[in-house]
Structure 1
Amino acid sequence: MTDPFFLSILLLALLAIGGLSIGLAMICASSVYLALKGFDSSIAAETLLQGLFNSYTLLAIPLFILAADIMNVGSLADRLLRFAEALVGRFKGGLGHVNVVSSLIFSGMSGSAVADAVGMGKIIIGMMTKDGRYSASYAAAITAASATIGPIIPPSIPMVLYALVSDQSVGYLFAAGMMPGLLMGLVLMVMNMIIAHTRNFPTDTSVPLRDIPRVTFQAIPALLLPVILLGGIYGGIMTPTEAAAVAAFYALFVSVTFYRSVSIKQFYQTLLGSARSTATIGILIAGALTFQYVVTRENVPVSLSNWLAHFELSRTGFLIAINVLFLALGCILESGAILLIIVPIFIPTAQALGIDLVHFGVIVVVNAMLGLITPPYGLLLFIVASVTKEPLTKIVRELVPFLIALFIALGIITFVPDFVLWLPRLLGYRG
């Protein structure tokens, strides 16, 4: 008789390939496994509900999504973009630098790569392609590459998902993402500078020096959001979930009171959009929780750990293998599925090799984000392609130098743990 676990994996793959959402596919596959094993099918529902209702941290996800959506519909994104333009727009290839810097700033508020690409990305692509100063494919490529920074710099929805499966502190994970996120922004700006000089890109019209104080003043209410958010978390005033609620309220308060840019109708549409996004992630989490029960019943993590022990991999060898595996998985799976299904399998091995789990979390999240711009799946590639109407092949060709730069950053993040853990340790982390 065919093994029930093998059949559930086969069914999961077939349903996903057939176009069913990965969350629903996991729920179906788990239900089939339970039926073939003769278990009560209510176990799936019980596991799902216990996982969702016992995790207070998960409440942060819809709140961060709402905060990002409010910033997009309001004028916060516009003012932040103008501020970034005032900072770096005067250099050669300036709008490319503005693209990266705006992602660095916006990522301190949204926690989502997709929110960054859809919100700020649409605006900056329009600015870059105006009057033919940059090709649409180049604008799309650097927008997709810079959007990967969003979930690395806190707040970060993927970090919340990793905290769920690893039982690590969300606050320390947020802190651990700060330096890697800045490094990713730096290597992208260096690559943009090299390309700008090689191709002789124009020096863009910059914000006059006399206007910089005014632009900065107009952006201050928006710029205060990450200060309030992170200051509250690390000052011990708020939990990450409470901080997410504050972020959503503050974004709405600033948009309505200071910028007067959100109507009741727009706010209603924003709530609907946030609810849809939350439901999509919720189904994925629900599916992952039920499928984790199957994986645990089959003792997969321990079996895999014992199998890897036969190869006598060193810590370095294991980390290289993890990077190769997750980059490959990123080509075909979405980041949430990787973090919720695949990562828990490798956590016992990482612990056995003495790898710090906060450092490991940053590694897997960075890999998952790079998967968003890695063909053939590359969700961010499809988003920027739909915005620019450019062929995917042209965007990928322009993306290659930025991918190389990000792989260099990934190498530093992977093999220099002190670089990642410096800030968490400064804030009291003892790992």
Structure 2
Amino acid sequence: MSIPFASALAIITALAFLGLPMGIAMIAGSVLYLLMRGQDMGIVAEQLLNGMYSNYIMLAVPLFILAAEIMNSGTMSERLLKWCDALVGRFRGGLAQVNVLQSIVFAGMSGSAIADAAGSGKMMQFMMTKDGKYTPSYAAALTAATAVIGPIIPPSIPMVLYALVADTSIGYLFLAGVFPGLLMAGAMMVLIAVTARRKNFPVEPPVPLRQLPRMTWHALPVLMMPVVLMYGIYGGVTTPTEAAAVAAFYALIVSLVIYRSVGARDLYGSVLTSAKTTASIGMLIAGALVFNYVVTIENIPRSLSMLLLSWDLDPLTFLIAVNILLLLLGCVLEGTTILLVIVPVLIPTAQALGIDMVHFGVVVVVNIMLGLITPPYGLLLFIMTRIANVPMRALVADTLPYLGMLVGALILFTFVPETVLWLPRLFGYQGATP
């Protein structure tokens, strides 16, 4: 490691600990590196422009964010919750099961765990804690755990970013996330059922089955959104980026025309919030693009790849090491940072070992999502402590059983690649060749 690169890392680490946004810290460290190497500062602007404006795929990120904000500002999320309650609310621990079910459906719309927790998660927190049915910490922990499903079941913003850094098909990545996401949701529902009997969770008044068709009709525009998106992508009608635009437009039409639940002020607030979120993600991507150029100049990916290959690791051992590394990094780093800075360094080794890039992408995204509920940094944990106003210690204690269940699912996906790849193969995916 050269002195300029070590100095750049030191500056990035120091600025990040001082509270500066990670994207700006990476740009500052990269500028210092170029100065110490005597290179032209115009390289920074060149990397930003080439990276930010030559990747059509990146347009999907702000569009999916806007779609989620529009849904949250109207009644789409509320109607979805009522429909989920009619289906599974009648069982013991029914509201907890509703929490999982709404995350599955909401996952097909927003692509963001944060949007899930901050949107429908707020309503679930209120519903579960009303009249003391569930403790606030349990409700918050379950909401955080179920929100993890969001970016695994398509569409998925983290998968879009992974496709950007790994040059992998977004369509096949989206397909690969369907079964793992549903399996994780199923595992949580089983754990809820067991816990409900042990802790004697309440049973909700059952909604008469004769009312289910009417409630389904009222929620149909919401339920059709994932269908429209998936048909557009896999029917060859739209690219994934165009599907993100369709998602935002569809949410707008449903909220404005069908439900009439969004006014001009609500729409302005959704656009403003989306712009702020997009700007923060965009700055992080910009910093990663510049810093990745520095990493490339230092030949870090190739050097690391040669080092790991010299250890004669087999693909499974490498994947286990990646899981451990990403889970540990998830305790202290934000997921997008890991995806844009750490993962590109690991990709050359994965390719050299013949690991399928779609399988690797799902393993990476699941790891990053688990980092959202892994103490001490877990971003979803911080969000739910603010929403539920509960101590972090109580929230973590109630989250750990679900985190353990999800880690078990991650182990399955790692050791059995076909759990991830069988659905893409049905649609013609050939996979990597060693």
Q: TM-score, normalised by structure 2?
A: 0.98
Aligned to 2:171: 171
Q: Which amino acid aligns with 1:399?
A: T
Query: Hey, what's the Cα distance between the residues in 1 that align with 2:206 and 2:333?
Result: 40
SS in structure 1 opposite 2:390?
A: coil
Query: What is the correspondence of 1:26-425 to structure 2 with a 5 Å cutoff?
Result: 26-425=26-425
Query: Hey, what's the Cα distance between the residues in 1 that align with 2:202 and 2:75?
Result: 28
Query: Hey, what's the Cα distance between the residues in 2 that align with 1:338 and 1:384?
Result: 22
Query: Hey, what's the Cα distance between the residues in 2 that align with 1:179 and 1:15?
Result: 40
Shift of 1:258: 1.0
Query: Hey, what's the Cα distance between the residues in 2 that align with 1:302 and 1:94?
Result: 51
Shift of 1:158: 0.2
SS in structure 1 opposite 2:179?
A: helix
Shift of 1:312: 1.5
CA deviations over 1:183-230 (Å, ceiling 9, x no partner): 110111111111111111111223222211111110101111110101
Q: Which stretch shifts more, 196-205 or 384-393?
A: 196-205
Q: Which amino acid aligns with 1:119?
A: G
Query: Hey, what's the Cα distance between the residues in 2 that align with 1:249 and 1:92?
Result: 38
CA deviations over 1:136-176 (Å, ceiling 9, x no partner): 00000000000000000000000000000000011111111
Query: Hey, what's the Cα distance between the residues in 2 that align with 1:309 and 1:239?
Result: 36
Name the count of aligned residue pairs. Answer: 431
Q: Which amino acid aligns with 1:415?
A: F
SS in structure 2 opposite 1:376?
A: coil
Q: Which amino acid aligns with 2:343?
A: V
Query: Hey, what's the Cα distance between the residues in 1 that align with 2:290 and 2:208?
Result: 57
SS in structure 2 opposite 1:380?
A: helix
CA deviations over 1:99-125 (Å, ceiling 9, x no partner): 000000001000000000000100011
Query: Hey, what's the Cα distance between the residues in 1 that align with 2:404 and 2:332?
Result: 20
Q: Which stretch shifts more, 372-381 or 313-322?
A: 313-322
Query: Hey, what's the Cα distance between the residues in 1 that align with 2:400 and 2:198?
Result: 15
SS in structure 2 opposite 1:236?
A: coil
CA deviations over 1:305-334 (Å, ceiling 9, x no partner): 111123221111111100000000001111
Q: Which amino acid aligns with 2:262?
A: V
Shift of 1:269: 1.0
In structure 1, stretches of 5+ residues that fail to align are: none
Shift of 1:59: 0.4
Q: Which stretch shifts more, 230-239 or 206-215?
A: 206-215
Query: Hey, what's the Cα distance between the residues in 1 that align with 2:71 and 2:224?
Result: 13
Shift of 1:335: 0.8
Q: Which amino acid aligns with 1:338?
A: I
Query: Hey, what's the Cα distance between the residues in 1 that align with 2:237 and 2:191?
Result: 39
Aligned to 1:20: 20
Query: Hey, what's the Cα distance between the residues in 2 that align with 1:284 and 1:187?
Result: 33
SS in structure 1 opposite 2:394?
A: helix
Aligned to 1:5: 5
Query: Hey, what's the Cα distance between the residues in 2 that align with 1:61 and 1:205?
Result: 40
Query: Hey, what's the Cα distance between the residues in 2 that align with 1:16 and 1:87?
Result: 46
SS in structure 2 opposite 1:280?
A: helix
Q: Which amino acid aligns with 1:253?
A: I
SS in structure 1 opposite 2:86?
A: helix
CA deviations over 1:89-108 (Å, ceiling 9, x no partner): 11111111000000000010
In angstroms, what is the RMSD of aligned CA positions?
A: 1.0
Query: Hey, what's the Cα distance between the residues in 2 that align with 1:304 and 1:176?
Result: 28
Q: Which amino acid aligns with 2:401?
A: P
Q: TM-score, normalised by structure 1?
A: 0.99
> Percent same amino acid among aligned pairs?
59
Query: Hey, what's the Cα distance between the residues in 2 that align with 1:363 and 1:264?
Result: 41
SS in structure 1 opposite 2:278?
A: helix
Q: Which amino acid aligns with 2:14?
A: L
Q: Which amino acid aligns with 1:35?
A: L
In structure 2, stretches of 5+ residues that fail to align are: none
Query: Hey, what's the Cα distance between the residues in 2 that align with 1:226 and 1:110?
Result: 10
Q: Which amino acid aligns with 1:185?
A: A
Shift of 1:2: 7.2
Shift of 1:352: 1.2
